Structure 1
């Protein structure tokens, strides 16, 4: 796996993944997300892929999944994350709580590579709620 990050101007950089996908990062957060915001988004995205995949394999009728990610950072430089909380809001038709709980737990304990990488130095917690689809 590889990526290239190229300076655009100011503190704006364009990242290109090894698969050719591009995204913009901004150290000032004026035109794009900062690299640290993208770390949170990556954790939420990785875990969400797991949760949805596991729920689909369990034949749950999921119509939506949102992961709200909150991070706390150290006061000193480097301002690394010290705590990250992932809250999953799963929407669907008669989605069983036991399946959501299991999916979130499996993502946390086994599958989410981003969270597993971060947990060496970050306290990561998880929660979930289920909403009935209209």
Structure 2
């Protein structure tokens, strides 16, 4: 897997992924950013949410659960010192569907966190405390 990140001026960069997608990245205004893209640490949280959500939806579909929507609300805390790494992350999954079984949703969230989501496992191995919760909404 590869990525190329190219400077656009000030603290604005464009990343091109191996799959050919482009992502704008910009620093905060306090360091000269102009809000032309996401902050790097925001992208880490988005990657975590995407990785886990793919796992959860895929597992629920394989277990024949009628999922109609899935979102994960992520809240993170960072260290007060430099580097301002993540110290705690909470992921709250909101899964909507018809007749979803609690046990299936709980299992999918747990398996993603503990076994399948590369981003989650990488962050938790780096001493980030990651917690998970979920709720089910009937469609």
Name the TM tier (shorter chain): over 0.9
Given the alignment of the two structures, is residue 130 of structure 1 paired with residue 122 of structure 2, yes or no? no
- Structure 1 residue aligned with 2:12: 12
Looking at structure 1, the residues matched to 10 and 93 of structure 2 have their Cα atoms a distance apart, in angstroms, of: 35
Task: Give the TM-score normalised by structure 2.
Answer: 0.93
Paired residue secondary structure (2:36): coil
Distance 1:25 1:132 in 2: 37
Q: Note the residue ranges of structure 2 that are not aligned, 5 or more in a row.
A: none
Moved over 2 A (4+): none
1:53 correspondence with 2:58: yes
Q: Report the aligned-residue RMSD.
A: 0.9
Q: Scaled by the length of structure 1, what TM-score is found?
A: 0.96
Q: Does 1:81 align with 2:77?
A: no
- Residue number in structure 2 paired with 1:102: 107
Structure 1 regions of 5+ residues with no counterpart? none
- What is the total number of aligned residue pairs between the two structures? 133
